[in-house]
Amino acid sequence: MLACVVGFACADRGPAPANGTAELRLEDYELVDLTHTFNAATLYWPTSPTSFALEQLAFGPTEAGYFYAANALSAPEHGGTHLDAPIHFAAGRQATDQIPLDRLMAPAVVIDVSAASSADPDYRLSREVVLEFEAQHGAIEAGSIVLLRTGWSERWPDRLRYLGDDTPGDASDLHFPSFGADAARLLVEERGVAAIGADVASIDYGQSTDFMVHRIAGAADVPGLENVANLESLPARGATVIALPMKIEGGSGGPARIVALVPRDMP
């Protein structure tokens, strides 16, 4: 295993090498996978005409005597653990391949609203709750990735429990928590966060019809991360998130592998 990665901008642990470049020492961190596996059970928006498909092209010994495996895959941009590019809901804003890497690799802030969400599946994060979080954990710095933990990840991939409705082709009766518009404005317009994300199917709550959180984030070139997994393994502050989508030219989003680095010496 590679002991360290040189040149990682967020790293400040230990002395810098002689060339002045910061080092990331992976042995100092717990690596947490925040990604649901893509497979036939992967959830997509109810109105999506297709879902994830993996077609086996080759699997087994070749005529030359060695083993060979290859597949063809197809999937909508928006489903499973994925990124929403700003252009998804904002004309003229960044497509997937145009998002700067420093918006996808940044310190994480995790706001836990799992108790409130359990009591109300239509819960929306409010400005007041964000301010209460800051009063306890400190101000949210510009350039952070803010992740909303609702507890919904443990319902994956049960379509009815996760989305609140499993009617094929119908997205009118979905019920799951997420960000509220006033909280999104605070985070995006006042705090200047790099990205926002949640462990649910959308950065807008299930009953949304105007998708204001998407529109607020997109207008500011702030990407969204959806269907994030395992947020219960992250502290409120101190982790670093790396959220890298498939680099699709002109894309409105794409499947993503999201991981977190959590310092082992955190109290």
Which residues are part of the catalytic machinery?
88
Q: Angle 221-151-202 (CA atoms, 0-180°, nearest 5)? A: 30
- Measured distance CA(5)–CA(16) in Å, rounded: 12
Which of 140, 137, 173, 150 lies closest to 47 in space, CA to CA?
Answer: 173
Residue 258 sits at φ, ψ, to 5 deg, of -115, 130
Which of 3, 5, 1 lies closest to 240 in space, CA to CA?
Answer: 5
